[in-house]
Structure 1
Amino acid sequence: FVHSHKENEEIYGILSGNGKAIIDGKEISLSTGDWLKIAPAAKRQFFASDISGITYICIQVKENSLEHFTAEDAVIG
């Protein structure tokens, strides 16, 4: 089904198989190991391959909530 979000972006990791995503009308091929980050307002729809199917994980977070993503944010010890 086609959907979007109000505030949350989504990060998809393709764990196995193949398929495609249609994001704002643009078709993107997906295969094992691919990662995809999608802005909240983008209209998206996913399809599994008829041959292999697809298994993915979806992580949903508030858009731009990760402000410090570099090594300087790490606390060691």
Structure 2
Amino acid sequence: MRQADEPAGRGTRGGHALESRDEELARLRAVNNRLGKAGKEWEPERENLRRAAQYFAAEMKASPVAGTSSAPTAPTSA
């Protein structure tokens, strides 16, 4: 929102008249609606990435990382 001391949001900034509060609210609602639609468009992609992350997390738990061993080894004498 604009500065509270501007009467009903009708001041000037840089020589341009500011939009009224109703116009600003309408503009922000339109932006919010557009962002909501964009978020819904990406939902399938997020779901695929979530499933892939679950799959690879399960794979990491099932098999040890190369170069490590899950069983302790006996110390060697030198």
TM-score normalised to structure 2 length: 0.21
**Structure with greater helix share of residues:** 2
Larger Rg: 2
**Structure with greater strand share of residues:** 1
Higher relative contact order (CA 8 A, sep 6+): 1
